Structure 1
Amino acid sequence: MDHIRNMEEKCKKYRLCHVVFQTAESALLEGVLLDNDSNSANLLVPEDLTAPESSSFEVRQSHAETFIPRQRKYKKVNIPLQSVLAIYLFQDYYHSYQYVYQRNYHPQ
């Protein structure tokens, strides 16, 4: 009972955030946490779609590499809190550029 209450509090804290649920079956479910009640939580889970074979969807990049944009649709999934072991915030990694600021810089 205490475990379910703890998961319910985490769901309230992470509402409308991109989260990862770890279930008792060792499955990882990624999605946006919509809402929850005392027994379950609702997630918007992304599902990848196959891109059309048309070359109009390909974007050329440098060195003759092609980039095909990813297409997704989202479905709503109801997860019982009894089967959830842990809830984590999804880590979005991005490259941080270092900016060099010069002292006494006066543009002309």
Structure 2
Amino acid sequence: MIELTRGGRDLLNASIGWYDSDGDRVGGHHVTLVGVEGDSAGHHRITFHDPADGGALDTQSATRPTTYCLGSDNGDGPRVVGYGGVGVTARLEGVMVLTTAP
């Protein structure tokens, strides 16, 4: 992650899609990645700041890191275990690196 952000000077935004039981994408959300962990057994965890608070669409939660384990990848991206709403599966679809410096 340090290499991707050039020592913390860049921003990593992750796209998380929500999929129903038929595998159809029914929504999604962007979060800011602030940590990535992995081990030699292939277990990975991501930590991000989530701007949603589960309330009204015009409110934003306080900035706090939340950590989730990544699960199996079905081709839409690895599952974000425990994230998302009732009846949907959250999947990490991709990461964008935003930079302002050359």
TM-score, length-scaled by structure 2: 0.40
Structure (1 or 2) with the greater helix fraction: 1
- Answer with 1 or 2: which has the greater Rg: 1
Higher strand share: 2
TM-score by length of 1: 0.38
